[in-house]
Amino acid sequence: MIVVHHLNNSRSQRILWLLEELGLDYEIKKYQRDPKTMLAPPELKAVHPLGKSPVISDDGLVVAESGAIVEYLTGRYGNGRLVPAVGTPERLRYTYFLHFAEGSAMSPLLMKLVFDKVENGPMPFFAKPIARAIARKVKDSFVLPNIRSQLDFLEAELGKSTWFAGEEFSAADIQMSFALEAAASRGGLGSQYPKLSAFLQRIHARPAYARALERGGKYDYA
Ligand SMILES: N[C@@H](CCC(=O)N[C@@H](CS)C(=O)NCC(=O)O)C(=O)O
């Protein structure tokens, strides 16, 4: 039996959604973030040494890292579903976006989260102006321009085809969903990204997405 070690409000929501799209049986073991630090509880380290989510176990195997889990599940149980055929241009786009989601898209979004905390979080009064100035500088000179250029790029990509890998919905769209949901909730996509907003509306309307939400519990990004 596939067991998803699922952290609330996290990337593992994508794995529940993938399992629903594939129509597979699975169990969920739920973990709650520490409300102050937002970190995963230490029990998750018993499943995988890094203690991050998602991580799945199946048949005596433990698989961590969203992209690796997507490859494992589609490869073992997909029978060709949600993955474009090898050797096609769609497959190359699929591979690109499967990696882009965690390899590129999430880094500036995570930096924004961290530097927003530095800018607005509690600290001794004498340190505040310096910390704020540094946070602002990093955000203005690096983080926000990178988020903008990635969103511009992704908006243009969705001008070429309905889904990220082509005309067919694929697991790359599932993998890309978290970064776009995070971008929408951390800064808003705004009217300059109509294709990305439409993408989010389309995925949120999928019955498998709704089933995954129902099983996973609270998820603030949908
Ligand atoms: N690149 C990894 C990222 C894993 C990750 O950072 N997960 C977050 C949840 S979105 C987490 O477990 N955070 C809790 C913590 O760091 O303690 C993946 O895609 O699986």
Mean pLDDT by 10 residues, the chain (222 residues): 97 98 98 94 97 97 98 98 98 98 97 93 90 95 96 98 98 98 87 96 98 94 88
| pLDDT (0 to 100) of residue 222 | 86
* 167 DSSP 8-state letter: S
What CATH class is the domain 2-82+212-216? alpha beta
3-state DSSP call for residue 134? helix
- Closest ligand 1 atom to Cα of 40: 17
Enter the tokens of residue 183: 């971008």
CA distances from 26 to 1, 73, 146 (A): 6, 12, 37
Assess whether the C-beta atom of 109 lies below 6 angstroms from ligand 1: no
| pLDDT (0 to 100) of residue 187 | 75
| pLDDT (0 to 100) of residue 211 | 98
| pLDDT (0 to 100) of residue 54 | 98
Assess whether the C-beta atom of 11 lies below 6 angstroms from ligand 1: yes
3-state DSSP call for residue 112? helix
Domain 89-206 listed as CATH 1.10.10.10:
no
Q: What are the boundaries of each domain within the chain?
A: 2-82+212-216, 89-206
Assess whether the C-beta atom of 39 lies below 6 angstroms from ligand 1: yes
Residue 8 CB partners (closer than 8 Å, separation 6+): 30, 31, 32, 33, 216, 217, 218, 219
* Single pTM value for the model: 0.96
DSSP state letters, 168-191 = S--HHHHHHHHHHHHHHHHT---T
Distance in Å, CA 84 to ligand 1 centroid = 27
| pLDDT (0 to 100) of residue 29 | 98
Assess whether the C-beta atom of 113 lies below 6 angstroms from ligand 1: no
